[in-house]
Structure 1
Amino acid sequence: MSRLAKYGTGVGLAAIHLGALAAFVPALFRMSDLVVAAILAYLTGVLGVTLCYHRVLTHRSLRLRKPIEYLFALFGTLALQGDPLRWVATHRKHHAYADREGDPHSISLGFRWAHVDWLYRQNVAIPTPDEIARYAPDLYADPFYRTLAYIGLPLQFVLAAVLFLAGGWAWVVWGVFVRLVFSYHSTWFVNSAAHMLGYRTYRTNDQSTNCWWVAALAFGEGWHNNHHAFPFSARHGLRWFEIDVTWWHVKALELLRLADRVRLPSRLMQRRLAYANVRSLGASLAAARGDKVRADGTGMYTGAARRPTRSTA
């Protein structure tokens, strides 16, 4: 990443967070402002990023009718987390090297790195053309997604202009800045907190966890250990109490015949990966971290893993 791109990312994120602080100005808060933010967060976050970018485009957990897929992908670009090509390539690379050298946002480099710092580092946040060709060749072959790679940021300014004309600065603050901050941290907590906090149901070669409050913020994405165990699954909340709002949307779309080829892990697959007891849970998680686990099987850590080298460019 060039110095301009590196600092441009930092300035951009800082400006968005500062803009969101304007929501505390009493004159810029009405109930209609909150409604606008909620609707746009739903369209861009739930339908755009969580459902389309992640479960449809990245993992092919289900198939949407093409017009619906394209519409939801367009919504996703307004979340300003990157176009589908770069988002999908980055996430597929994460799964290929989860919590190891090569993972763009490995938790082994610490919470802050996994949460946001990775966005500023060379050859990490922005996949190269070769990486896109390697990790997202299916999307690159589609002219629609190649086009979206160039229009995401301009679309955000168009949306801001429409919001200003319809509701003044209050709608811009809530419909753009507050919405983006919520969307960013909901996604970032999946990369950070859902690799540190919570419980593990399945044996995986990473540190992914099931974290209920991340699942609440990210509409089901916080059941992250389930997801890393079965990346192909359209459903992340696999137990009765693991509420997965995005999965409800999958079922609704399937019922409306707008989605098909919904993929789920069998009960046999789930049993094979499930932990037999607490001792194996603690030992396996500690082994993934490189820690020493207490002999009582509680999973408490007594030593920290050696972290891979961090890029400073």
Structure 2
Amino acid sequence: MTIDNSPTAPQAPLKLDWVSVIFFSIVHALALLAPWFFSWSALGVLLFLHWLFGSIGICLGYHRLLSHRSFQVPKWLEYTIAVIGALALQGGPIFWAAGHRLHHAFTEDEDKDPYSARRGFWWSHMLWLFYPKSEFFDYDQYQRYAPDLVRDPFYRWLNRNFLWLQLPLGILLYVLGGWSFVVYGMFVRAVLLWHSTWFINSVTHMWGYRTFETNDNSRNLWWAAIFTYGEGWHNNHHAYPNVAKAGWRWWEYDVTWWAIWVLKVTGLARKVVMPPEQALSNQ
């Protein structure tokens, strides 16, 4: 991957993308139907899919596997995990990995970090999606930051078609449990998982403790780690981004690492990048 370190060109005025505003508003509004469609089984579906799409799809798949290559799995399993990530409705794998790699290359730079916390809480949390910059949202521009994924026809296809995967998911949920499952399994799940993920961009660059003196304001925040299955140990991650574990201390809860560990002990995950001994000894 080649990162452009040339001086930043003058920035064009940001324009509000009404398509994004309307899309996110509709999904949030549909999630508000939850009280009228409540059932305990629907709540169970919500919790299961939040974990499956969030921890396995986004945290383990899009983040630690595809963005950082913290470990390797057989290609069939990598593709399966990537599809689970695409079902989270957070963009295609090339878009997600490219944006995250830029975040690490230019952390908190107000122009080159897609969700720079220096622009304020709401920008890093969600406004970056409503005022899209072409270098982060135009495929012809962002694809150069994930060339390994671009070379793969499957990832190019998934990047183009991830949104359509919601149709078979919605049909399956309706067949299994009617509109209750659809409301909780799609709309409530999407909203909760969006904000859980966005917390990493916003709150963990503002509040929490710092184990490592990194060149940014990344923080470790316990409650963010709970909502994001371990991603809230963000200072650890920024200090050693290629390490497969986010929680290093025994009490730093990292559910996503547990899944990676299972893959490792069963022989499905190899070349798992662990924290360096020197860094561990300083904990």
Same fold? TM cut 0.5: yes
Change (3 A) 1:5 1:197: closer
1:46–1:246 contact (8 Å) kept in structure 2: yes
Q: Distance in 1 between matches of 2:190 and 2:87?
A: 9
Deviation at 1:205, TM superposition (A): 0.8
Which has the greater radius of gyration?
Answer: 1
Partner SS state of residue 259, structure 1 = coil
Give the partner amino acid of 2:78: E
1:29 corresponds to which residue? 38
2:8 corresponds to which residue? none
Q: Distance in 2 between matches of 1:167 and 1:128?
A: 37
Deviation at 1:150, TM superposition (A): 2.1
Task: Pick one of 219, 224, 227 that aligns with 1:214.
Answer: 224
Q: Does 1:142 align with 2:152?
A: yes
Q: Distance in 1 between matches of 2:280 and 2:260?
A: 20
1:50 corresponds to which residue? 59
2:70 corresponds to which residue? 61
Runs of 4+ in structure 1 deviating by more than 3 angstroms, as ranges, are 269-272
2:255 corresponds to which residue? 245
**Structure 1: which 5+ runs fail to align?**
275-313
Q: Distance in 2 between matches of 1:109 and 1:4?
A: 16
Partner SS state of residue 64, structure 1 = coil
- Once the two structures are superposed, residues 121-152 of structure 1 have per-residue CA deviations (whole angstroms, 9 ceiling, x without a partner) of 2326515423212x100000011101101221
Deviation at 1:4, TM superposition (A): 10
Deviation at 1:269, TM superposition (A): 3.6
Partner SS state of residue 60, structure 1 = coil
Task: Pick one of 5, 14, 29 that aligns with 1:18.
Answer: 29
Q: Distance in 1 between matches of 2:254 and 2:41?
A: 27
Any residues of structure 2 matched to 1:1-313 within 5 Å, and which? Answer: 6-25=17-36, 28-101=37-110, 102-123=112-133, 126-133=137-144, 135-270=145-280
Q: Distance in 2 between matches of 1:107 and 1:241?
A: 27
1:90–1:127 contact (8 Å) kept in structure 2: no
Task: State the number of aligned residues.
Answer: 269
RMSD (CA atoms): 1.8
Q: Distance in 1 between matches of 2:32 and 2:69?
A: 37
**Structure 2: which 5+ runs fail to align?**
1-11
| TM-score (normalised: structure 2) | 0.91
| TM-score (normalised: structure 1) | 0.82
Q: Distance in 2 between matches of 1:127 and 1:241?
A: 41
Deviation at 1:173, TM superposition (A): 0.3
Higher relative CO (Cα under 8 Å, sequence separation at least 6) belongs to: 2
